[in-house]
Amino acid sequence: MSELGKKEKVSLTELEKEWTAQVERFIETGLKPTHLDSHHHIHTIVELQSVVRKLSKKFGLPVRRNGRISIEGVEPTADISIFDFYSEGVKEDYFAMLSNQLEDGITAEIMCHPAYLDKTLLNLSSYTFKRLTELEILTSTILPDPLVLL
């Protein structure tokens, strides 16, 4: 069985049109994208990777990894993506301790969900107040050398 499951059928043509439209709309705002990714790492599903390869090439953008998993034929944004700065993993000393998790020379992206709270977020998400803690840590932490936030 595929990663998408038996019942799920995705038109790669429609997917490519939709993801292209999203990237183009972002560019129309005057901002320059730095990479491609997707919510819950949907872009790393094997059946969808051909579309990701096309868009990476078309827009000249690297693609976020799913942990250590990368998409063959595209430049990754980092050597690894780390997902433990979330919920109980959100700790004041997280970034000071990060070098203990990484080998020398490894670049890492850290998944995070900082936010200010409003009614919409409070009504739509179960992950709310911890976002404020993330925001505080991310805006006040002094990173040890050679860690740098991108």
140 shares a domain with 69: no
Q: Are 4 and 66 within one domain?
A: yes
Q: How confident is the model over 60-67, as a mean pLDDT?
A: 95
135 shares its domain with 88 = yes
Overall pTM > 0.85: no
**Domains held by the chain: number:** 2
Give the domain range for residue 16: 1-77
CA atoms within 13 A on the CB side of 96: 7
Do 67 and 88 reside in the same domain of the chain?
A: no
pLDDT number for residue 1: 47
CB atoms inside a 10 Å sphere around CB 63: 23
23 and 73 in one domain? yes
Q: What's the pLDDT at 8?
A: 72
CB 82 within 8 A of CB 109: yes
pLDDT above 90 covers what percent of the chain?
75
Residues 39, 5: one domain? yes
Please indicate, yes or no, whether residues 140 and 98 belong to a single structural domain of this protein: yes
What number of other Cβ atoms are within 10 A of residue 120's Cβ? 8
Are residues 25 and 69 located together in one domain of the fold? yes
Average pLDDT over residues 30-55: 95
CB 108 within 8 A of CB 102: yes
Neighbour count for residue 38 (Cβ, 10 Å): 16
What's the pLDDT at 136? 96
Distance of CA 145 to the CA centre of its chain: 23
Residue with tokens 């020398």: 104
In this prediction, residue 112 has a pLDDT band, given cuts at 50, 70 and 90, of very high
Choice between 141 and 123, residue whose per-residue pLDDT is larger: 123
| One domain, residues 48 and 99 | no
Instruction: Based on DSSP, count helices (H) and strands (E) in the chain, helices before strands.
Output: 5, 2
Does pLDDT of 25 surpass 60?
Answer: yes
pLDDT given at position 103: 84
Task: Please give the average per-residue pLDDT across 71-97, as a whole number.
Answer: 94
Structure tokens, 137 = 């840590």
3-state helix, strand, coil in the chain (%, to 5): 45, 5, 50
Q: Which of 77, 106, 128 is the last residue of a domain?
A: 77
| Same-domain check for residues 86 and 37 | no
My answer on whether 60 and 101 are in the same domain is: no
On whether both 2 and 70 belong to a single domain, the answer is yes
Of the three residues 60, 77, 94, the one that is the final residue of a domain is 77
